[in-house]
Structure 1
Amino acid sequence: MMYEDDEEAQDQSLARPWIVLKTTYDVEAWIDHQNRNIQYLIKGNKNNGWGICFELTEGGEIYMHTTSEGDVLLDVTPEAEWVAPLITAVTQVDAPRSQIWALPGDKLTQLVLGLSPLLAMTRLVTDHSFNLKKY
């Protein structure tokens, strides 16, 4: 999706209702779409706080950021800790001691597919401090 002006691009940071994704094709198409939206919005901006916030139906938020190497950082808020066993199950990565999870990039599709039934909303974020927290 291409944006004609900054106002429309800025509007992308608003929360969007989640539509449950049921296949890996759906997830990969969603990832590609979100990646293009983020790339368009961050043109020329070196800020590392860009990503997606998943709002969970049963409470809490998960902030997701992909690094330049393709790895995934998750900031699982204390209210969302209840979803940690699911993240471990779908990614085969043990829970960290902090609320920041570091996942290999090849786990992204499984992560989104596993979380999909538990999501209420998503929104693009522009200033989350993933890089300031220790993981």
Structure 2
Amino acid sequence: MTLPPEQPPRFKPRPWNALETPQDVELWIDEHNAAMQELITPQETGVGICFALAEGGLVHMQTTADAILLDVDSDAAWIAPLIMAATGAEQPRGQIWVLPDDKLVQLILGLSTLVQSTTLVTGHNFGPGSRPSW
């Protein structure tokens, strides 16, 4: 039995340029939201962005109507203190963080110097009740 050829990734990683001010972050958010609205259909689920960290690990992020969901893989667990400092959140028992939506700018500023690249994602499991909000 032969397996079908693997499909190339739908979205390619984009190199990251560190963001230095809240205005830089807000502009990036606007550009990111516009790209998602253009490239991703409303029927798709598990929509978000994957941050590949320069020192190792992946952080998948989805924003919902009232929260930020972060799926921090085990190789990226080292950024937990940064997430807590940037957002005031407590570390969850698992790898899914649920943060208040008003902490997005602080979170992105905190992560900014640690990110190597970003990739749009679909089909990621952010946990129950996750619905993207752009």
TM-score, with structure 2 as normaliser? 0.85
Q: CA, structure 1 residues 77+63, in 2 after alignment: closer, same or farther (shift >3 Å)?
A: same
What is the Cα-based RMSD across aligned positions, in Å? 1.9
Q: Deviations over 1:63-98 (max 9, x none)?
A: 00011x131100000000000000000000011001
Identity across the alignment (%): 51
For the residue of structure 1 that corresponds to 2:127, the secondary structure is helix
2:40 maps to which of 35, 39, 42:
42
Structure 2, unaligned runs of 5 or more: 1-8, 130-134
Which residues of 2 match residues 41-120 of structure 1 at below 5 A?
Answer: 41-45=39-43, 47-67=44-64, 69-120=65-116
Give me the whole-angstrom Cα distance separating, in 2, the residues matched to 1:13 and 1:29.
Answer: 21
Question: How many angstroms does 1:126 deviate by?
Answer: 1.0
**Structure 1: runs of 5+ lacking an equivalent:** 1-10
1:127 Cα deviation from its structure 2 partner = 1.2
Question: What is the total number of aligned residue pairs between the two structures?
Answer: 122
- Alignment TM-score, normalising by the size of structure 1: 0.84
**Matched position secondary structure for 1:85:** helix
Write the deviation string for residues 44-74 of structure 1: whole angstroms up to 9, x where unpaired: 32x330100000011000000011x131100
State the 4+ residue runs in structure 1 displaced beyond 4 angstroms.
Answer: none
Instruction: Return the match for 2:124 from 112, 122, 128.
Output: 128
Q: Which has the larger radius of gyration?
A: 2
Cα distance between partner residues in 1 of 2:14 and 2:106: 21
**Cα distance, 1:20 vs. partner?**
0.5
Higher helix share: 1
